[in-house]
Structure 1
Amino acid sequence: MLKPAIVAALAATMAGCMFSEQVESFVGPTMGSTYSVKYVQRRGTPAKEELQRETEAILADLDRQVSTYRSDSDIERFNTLPTGSCAAVPDEVRTLVAAGERLSVESEGALDLTVGPLLDLWGFGPHGHGEQVPDAEAIAAARQRVGHQYLRIDGERLCKDAPVQVDFNSIAAGHAVDRVAARFEALGVDSYLVEITGELKARGHKPDGTPWRIAIEAPHDNERVAQRIIALDGYAVSTSGDYRNFFEQNGKRYSHTVDPRLGAPVAHRLAAVTVVDPSALRADGLSTVLMVLGEERGLAFAEQRGIAAFLVIRDGQAFVTKSTATFDRLFGKGDKQ
């Protein structure tokens, strides 16, 4: 550990060489939402305009390949194919299918990239026709078109052995964050905070030596309140919750988080879960997994696999929080913010 005198000397030296460093930022629309980027501009760092072009080129490519909101995307063209079909797809699509398969196997089906027909049926998907409680017959019919095991990769082709459709919404934004972060690092940007539709990753420190800090939001329906503040360096963060996207019918609340194994929205006390991982894609997918599993099974799943997770659980009209040992090791138990 450095002695205080040495720390002070280092701080003075850094202060003398950081006069030209500053935090730059830019924002824009993407994936039906927005993205935002902050980074430290240093000597030799590409100009902001170049970094924004690089960012938006990555996002545009992903949109053309994996968006379920445009009929001409690679994945939507695959989705329209009949059972038994194969189609050549870009590397990005195969990468995401393989990542989704790993998460599906690991979670025993709690995450499933083919859950789209169920989301649409309940009114939460891109092709839904309003939020509604479907009857048992409609749920059974939709479940016939759900199952990650019916997808397979054959060389550069993606194949389907049942009339399934692929929806990357549970991992696409995280993958986009990873892609942008990797491109920044390749271009020599060593301190950044990249956020895309709420998924984010940070690395390095700001010019004053402080880390990038982010807030874990408390699950309030009508306001934004920080539950915890954590500092990130080399980690991504994803939060999933049911406290904003839901509907009520006959006094019962229906979450947008649908359990692919049951064909219905989850019904448990877990209001929100945050996952921290070096991979934004994995954090994105795991937050969905834990949200499907619920407070007890989700916490056990995370502990067994060393996942850094922070859970917010309903307790009557209030909330209680729980965190895994890995989360506490990274960020401490901390005070509620």
Structure 2
Amino acid sequence: MALRIIKPVIAAALAAALTGCLFSDTLESFGGPTMGSTYTVKYVRSSGVPQPHELQLEVEAFLAELDGQMSTYRKDSDIERFNDAPAGTCQTMPEPVLMLVRYGKELSQISDGAFDLTLEPLLNLWGFGPKGQGERVPSAEALAEVRQRVGHEHLRIDGQQLCKDAAVEVDFNAIAAGYAVDSIGELLHRKGVRSYMVEATGELKAVGRKPDGSPWRIALEEPRDDQRVAQRIIELDGYGVSTSGDYRNYFEENGQRYSHTLDPSSGAPINHRLAAVTVIVPSALHADGLSTVLMVLGPDRGYAFAEREQIAAFFITRENEGFSTRSTPAFDALFGAQGEKP
């Protein structure tokens, strides 16, 4: 394998020296704001692959279209028009919206309800949603009332229409970024890009290698809210990565910590020792959704689920004043002992 790689490199170097016209692969990058956060694209530009500004225009056109379909922060988006409609109504939706609803239902079914796309009213009630009125613990009466308007079972798809039999509201925040990453990767592939790393709001996917042959490397962070510390460094090729945790978006009241991740079974923030979990699978969309599922299930049920479904996952659990880590067999098969803490 090494000889097959080295010989073309030597030949290419000689050709470049003789002709001076050989195209050299270069590492390019661009990025910008999206989904209330940012996105970044790094890719290897070889012969025939567009310049960064050309690709950026297409990527941002896609992101703008996605925002118009799925954003819960703008009243004119397709999903917000659906959310504002009364129970018993149907609306025609673009195929990406319907696809994500189908995937959300699949996740809900395989996880016994640990994933639910209709939690937006509860997120608002706790202060984490787009219409939240401040982070606070709601009354039992308010929680019971809002839970009447939550449940994936109230959604159905009829042809190209999304219908609801209760006044549910759909929120794609747990999977939209992963979908965006996969879609941008597909766009780059259509343009001739064969090596890239795409990140959007923390979800990412890496394919191929850099121009010097080195792999794309990412850090799995220790779940701390005071600073960024690398827990492990891993190398990626052909995989999406998503980390869910309770250490960035939370509030405290009367000494109790309340995470932005809600358990659909209780309508309240998760309450267990799992601080963060990372999922690594070929699809960034699937990684995004599955990391949420495992975070809701917690350190024991989540690990059992990941092991049963053969998901590559890395769990970080709070233990006394520190953390303990645990990885699934599928994770160890991919990365072995690589990625020791720096």
**Aligned counterpart, 2:234:** 230
**Aligned counterpart, 1:137:** 141
Map residues 111-190 of structure 1 onto 2, 5 A cutoff. Answer: 111-190=115-194
Q: Deviations over 1:97-136 (max 9, x none)?
A: 1111111111111110001111111111111110101111
Tell me by how many angstroms 1:86 deviates.
0.4
Distance 1:100 1:13, change over 3 A: farther
RMSD between aligned residues: 1.4
**1:333 partner letter:** A
Is the 2:23–2:46 Cα contact (8 Å) retained in structure 1?
no
Is the 1:118–1:260 Cα contact (8 Å) retained in structure 2?
no
**Aligned counterpart, 2:341:** 336
CA distance in structure 1 between the aligned counterparts of 2:4 and 2:32, rounded to whole angstroms:
43
Unmatched tracts of structure 1, length 5 or more: none
CA distance in structure 1 between the aligned counterparts of 2:299 and 2:149, rounded to whole angstroms:
28
Aligned-partner SS, 2:193: coil
Distance 1:317 1:166, change over 3 A: same
Distance 1:23 1:273, change over 3 A: same
CA distance in structure 1 between the aligned counterparts of 2:77 and 2:284, rounded to whole angstroms:
23
Q: Deviations over 1:138-184 (max 9, x none)?
A: 11111101100100000000000111000000000000011110011
Distance 1:12 1:258, change over 3 A: same
Distance 1:228 1:19, change over 3 A: farther
Is the 2:207–2:238 Cα contact (8 Å) retained in structure 1?
yes
Q: Deviations over 1:2-47 (max 9, x none)?
A: 4x65665455346667861110000100000100110001111012
**Aligned counterpart, 1:312:** 316
**Pair 1:95-2:99 in alignment:** yes
Match of 2:300 among 296, 300, 311: 296
**1:186 partner letter:** R
Unmatched tracts of structure 2, length 5 or more: 17-21
Aligned-partner SS, 2:258: strand
Aligned pairs, number: 335
**Aligned counterpart, 1:72:** 76
TM-score, normalised via structure 1 length? 0.96
Aligned-partner SS, 1:146: coil
**Aligned counterpart, 1:258:** 262
Tell me by how many angstroms 1:187 deviates.
1.0
Is the 1:215–1:229 Cα contact (8 Å) retained in structure 2?
yes
TM-score, normalised via structure 2 length? 0.95
Match of 2:210 among 206, 211, 214: 206
Q: Deviations over 1:171-225 (max 9, x none)?
A: 0000001111001101110010000111101101111001111111111111111
**Pair 1:60-2:58 in alignment:** no
